Amino acid sequence: MDKAAQTLSLAKLQAGDPHEFAHFVDQYSGSVYRLALKMVSEPQDAEDVLQETFLKAQRALPKFEGRSSLATWLYRIAVNEALMVLRKRRPDMISVEEPDPDAEELDEPLQIIDWCCLPEAELLSNEFRQHLQAAMQQLSPALRAVFLLRDIEGLSIEETAQTLDVSQAVVKTRLLRARLKLREALSEYYKERLTERSQ
Partner 1 sequence: MSEKHDCGLMLSSLVEYIDGTLREEVCREIERHLRDCENCRVVVNTLRKTIEIYQVTAEPDTLPADVRQRLFYRLELPNEPTETNSALAHQPGSLCPHCHQARLDYDGTLTLRCPACGYAEGGGCT
Q: Calculate helix-pair angle for 126-138, 168-198, nearest 10 degrees.
A: 140
Nearest distance in Å: CB 46, partner 1: 9
Tell me, by CB under 8 A, how many residues bind partner 1.
47
Measure CA of the first residue to CA of the last residue in the chain; give whole Å. 48
Quick one: how far is CA 76 from the chain centroid? 11
Instruction: For 8, list phi and psi in degrees, rounded to 5.
Output: -90, 150
Nearest to 85 by CA among 52, 116, 55, 112: 52
DSSP state for residue 158 in the 8-state scheme: H
Residue 151 one-letter amino acid: D
Nearest distance in Å: CB 91, partner 1: 26
The three-class DSSP label of residue 42 is: coil
Nearest distance in Å: CB 78, partner 1: 13
**List 5, 96, 132, 170, residue binding partner 1 (CB under 8 A):** 132
Report 8-67 residues binding partner 1 (CB under 8 A): 18-19, 21-22, 25-26, 29-31, 33-34, 37, 43, 47, 50-51, 54-55, 58
**List 10, 170, 176, 194, residue binding partner 1 (CB under 8 A):** 176
Q: Is 128 in contact with 188 (CB distance < 8 Å)?
A: no
Q: What angle do CA 183, 81, 179 make, to 5 degrees?
A: 10
Site mask for partner 1 (CB under 8 A), range 87-116, x = bound = -------------------x-xx--xxxxx
**Cβ distance to partner 1 smaller for residue 64 or 95:** 64
Binding site for partner 1 (CB under 8 A): 18-19, 21-22, 25-26, 29-31, 33-34, 37, 43, 47, 50-51, 54-55, 58, 106, 108-109, 112-116, 123, 126, 129-130, 132-133, 136, 147, 151-152, 157, 172, 175-176, 179-180, 182-183, 186-187
